[in-house]
């Protein structure tokens, strides 16, 4: 009887821990990063060699006046999100371009910017392969 009870208690604790991680971690990141979209998976090769398909990145909210040329930003568009490097800053818009792309994107309004990719110094913080979970699912 003790063994069955022990197994049930261990199972409940395990489920609670997994639920806390799956439910709580994304909510913690939303709060900590200041954006409703604090993480993303790289789904194309447009940012190669800085970012690779399947990379997992973190996104932190950024004020328009803090965006600089060279920052990697995430912005909303009609297809979802785009993660590209800022190439120009204008009064009401910014222009981005994928590192591996030949042409720049159409101008983006500052209010469409979700955030800036988290970096350490000038190095992008990325977790290789973890984003494939999202890439394969979509």
What pLDDT, in 10s, does the model give residues 69-99? 999 999 999 989 999 999 999 999 999 999 9
Contact 83, 97 (CB under 8 A): no
Bridge pairing between strands 80-89 and 72-77:
antiparallel
Of 44, 135, 120, 88, the closest CA to residue 97 belongs to: 88
Report how far residue 99's alpha carbon sits from residue 101's, in angstroms, rounded to the nearest whole number: 6
pTM of the model: 0.84
* Architecture in CATH of 39-137: Ribbon (2.10)
Once rounded to an integer, what is the mean pLDDT over residues 90-115? 98
Asked if residue 114 has pLDDT above 60, the reply is yes
pLDDT tens, 47-72? 999 999 999 999 999 999 999 999 99
Can you spell out the DSSP letters for 10-48?
HHHHHHHHHHIIIIIHHHHHHHHHTSS--EEE--SSTTT
């Amino acid at each position: 009887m003790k063994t069955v009870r022990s197994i049930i208690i261990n199972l409940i604790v395990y489920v609670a821990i997994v639920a806390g991680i799956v439910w709580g971690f994304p909510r913690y990141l939303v709060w900590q990063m200041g954006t409703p979209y604090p993480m993303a998976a790289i789904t194309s090769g447009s940012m190669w060699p800085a970012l690779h398909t399947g990379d997992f990145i973190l996104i932190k909210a950024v004020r328009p006046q803090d965006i600089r040329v060279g920052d990697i930003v995430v912005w909303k568009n009609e297809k979802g999100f785009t993660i590209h490097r800022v190439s120009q800053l204008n009064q009401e818009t910014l222009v981005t371009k994928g590192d591996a792309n030949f042409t720049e994107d159409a101008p983006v309004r500052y209010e469409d910017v979700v955030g800036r990719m988290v970096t350490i110094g000038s190095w992008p913080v990325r977790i290789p392969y973890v984003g494939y979970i999202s890439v394969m699912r979509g």
